Amino acid sequence: MREHKLRSIAAIISMNAFLPMRRQPLFLINTLASPFSFLFFLAVVGRPGALIYGVAGGLVLTVLSVGSSLQSDLTHYKADLKYQEMAVASPVKASTYVTGMALSEFVFAIPGMAVFAVLSVIYGHYIFLGGLVIFATLILLWVFASALGFTLATYLADVRETFMISPLISIFLSVVPPVYYPLESLARISPYLVWLAYAAPTTWAAQLVQGALGIIPLSLFQGLEDAGVLLAAAAILFFIAATKAKWRET
């Protein structure tokens, strides 16, 4: 049974990641488009020291994009190709299906993460065990984004509906939260924006990454608090995906 699950996951990863990457390499460039556009903007018009915020934000946004890509792909496979119906009728369980799909999206994100990881070494100032902190943070963020993408996809009836949902989620998770800028910048605009930012798990993830890169001071207590909130958000979304997501139509 375990071997069957691993083969199923490997087949899904090959179908949704390796084959598209080999047949159309532009898919990889597309995953870098948004993170690098923000980085370029900060490099051109940002104040001194803003570039490293772009590197930290690029790491976060690259992993976060896994969720939106997973949402679009799952909706496409379900509504257009009826692939989910075949998976439901097969011995493949929902957990195996979504794990393979989520890992395939993670494979797409690896080149982008590798580029930003190199940039973080060049421009960042790592604190002790900073690399491990960033790795653990991105894994938790991947779980959160994958669970969110899977849950939303099971309730969407058409790919066009993702075009309505994705921009709103992007604003809440990657524009308002201080992913590409310091949290203090929001406080200068309105304290209410700070509270709104704290409602987004990406704020806590960004603070961990920024602290690990030495951009902002990060105490042990603050780091544990950030990690705890991000872990709780990932666990809650994973629970919702496991219990409330619609795997079967009936």
Residue 94 lies in a domain: yes
DSSP alpha helix (H) spans, the chain: 2-13, 19-23, 26-45, 50-79, 83-89, 94-123, 130-155, 159-170, 184-189, 191-198, 201-212, 220-243
Q: What residue ranges of the chain have pLDDT lower than 70?
A: 1, 88, 127-128, 244-250
Residue 133 lies in a domain: yes
- Give this prediction's pTM: 0.88
Residue 104 confidence (pLDDT) = 92
Residue 249 lies in a domain: no
2 φ, ψ to 5°?
Answer: -60, -40
Number of domains in the chain: 1
The domain of 211 spans 2-243
| HSE (side-chain half, CA atoms, 13 Å) at 138 | 27
Residue 51 lies in a domain: yes
Residue 143 lies in a domain: yes
Residue 250 confidence (pLDDT) = 47
Spatial distance between the Cα atoms of 69 and 63, rounded to a whole number of angstroms: 10
Residue 112 lies in a domain: yes
Spatial distance between the Cα atoms of 101 and 10, rounded to a whole number of angstroms: 10
Residue 244 confidence (pLDDT) = 63
Residue 126 confidence (pLDDT) = 74
Residue 113 lies in a domain: yes
Buried b / exposed e over 155-172, threshold 16 CB at 10 Å, is ebeebebbeebbeebbee
Residue 250 lies in a domain: no
